[in-house]
Amino acid sequence: MIRGSIVALVTPMTSTGEVDYSALEALVEHHIAAGTHGIVAVGTTGESATLPTNEHVEVVKAVVKTVAGRVKVIAGNGANSTAEAIELTKAIAPLGVDAFLNVTPYYNKPSQKGLIAHFEAIADASDIPQILYNVPGRTAVDMLPETVAHLAKHDKIIGIKEATGSIQRLKDIQALVDGEFILLSGDDETGLAFLKQGGHGVISVTNNVAAKRMADMCNAVAEGDVETAEQIDSGLRDVHSAMFVESNPVPVKWALSRMGLIPECVYRLPLVQPELNTQKIIEQALSKAELI
């Protein structure tokens, strides 16, 4: 089962805006050494919305090659066009990923029936398992628990990344799916509460800057040591918050550059460098957590 501390990996870029594959390889090795249980390549944090298909595929290929089977690799394959998502799915499927992470279609605001049709069509396009991704704060559409339960009946749809930050939402989904359906938090601030409620893991932005601590927290919960998990999470609360003081991945990329984990802090437009006051908030959080 896919579970534990899963990093929503950034995509490092050079000063000229190209993907920095050397830095990407180094980041992957950093996470494996830190005990990260899985890597999401080219999800929202990896700037999937602004990487064209060829680059998207190449980044996933590079991550799979570097990982070499040591941890799980999950590839983002979502789009607001079903046809585009299917095209991306078919391009990535031969690369050796363990699963796809498929976000709800943004901007279109489909109905629940539309969501079902969208996700089933994509799942039918590949033998690779699919993990649903619900993040209404960014997509303007909320996939309801009943819709998740319907999709969970598809043999290729194996779980969900639930990023509403609502533990009640987790409980509602748990009541409608069986114990084999993978439940992953997509909200760092409530990630520990999600795990304590029976969630299987956290797809984390904070993991980028605190990989070992996030892995240790997830391991502690799995071992029944909730006290240790709470101590770790308490020390990261300001970091959780700071990573979203501007739109993700603006803060986390700046933080990684400040920590020396990526050589350049470069984004694809329309994302740009964080405001100076934002930089101070991020730096203070990193300093308080003793990450710099």
- The 10s digit of each residue's pLDDT in 56-103 is 999 999 999 999 999 999 999 999 999 999 999 999 999 999 999 999
User: What local confidence, expressed as pLDDT, does residue 37 receive?
Assistant: 98
User: What local confidence, expressed as pLDDT, does residue 228 receive?
Assistant: 98
Structural domain range at position 19: 4-225
- Of 61, 72, 156, 161, the catalytic one is 161
Tokens 């033998």 label which residue? 127
Supply angle C-alpha 106, 211, 2, rounded to 5: 60
* pLDDT tens by residue, 227-258: 999 999 999 999 999 999 999 999 999 999 99
- Phi first, then psi: what are they for 243, rounded to 5°? -70, -10
- Of 72, 133, 156, 253, the catalytic one is 133
Asked if 156 is an active-site residue, the reply is no
Residue type for 220, please?
A
Indicate whether 248 belongs to any domain: no
Indicate whether 263 belongs to any domain: no
The H or E element containing residue 157 is strand 157-162
Confirm if 147 and 115 have CB atoms less than 8 A apart: yes
Pairing of β 201-204 and β 130-134:
unpaired
**Mean per-residue pLDDT pooled into runs of 10, the chain (292 residues):** 96 96 98 98 96 97 98 97 97 98 95 98 98 96 98 98 97 96 98 98 98 98 98 98 97 98 96 97 98 96
Q: Which residues are annotated as a binding site?
A: 45, 203
Asked if 107 is an active-site residue, the reply is no
Indicate whether 22 belongs to any domain: yes
User: What local confidence, expressed as pLDDT, does residue 1 receive?
Assistant: 81
Q: Measure CA 277 to chain center.
A: 26
Q: According to the 3-state scheme, what is the secondary structure of 131-186?
A: EEEECHHHHCCCCCHHHHHHHCCCCCEEEEEECCCCHHHHHHHHCCCCCCCEEEEC
Indicate whether 290 belongs to any domain: no
What CATH number has the domain bearing residue 116? 3.20.20.70
Q: What is the DSSP letter of 39?
A: E
Indicate whether 10 belongs to any domain: yes
Q: What is the DSSP letter of 48?
A: G
Indicate whether 252 belongs to any domain: no
Q: How many domains does the chain have?
A: 1
User: What local confidence, expressed as pLDDT, does residue 52 receive?
Assistant: 94
Q: Which residues are annotated as a binding site for pyruvate?
A: 45, 203
Indicate whether 241 belongs to any domain: no
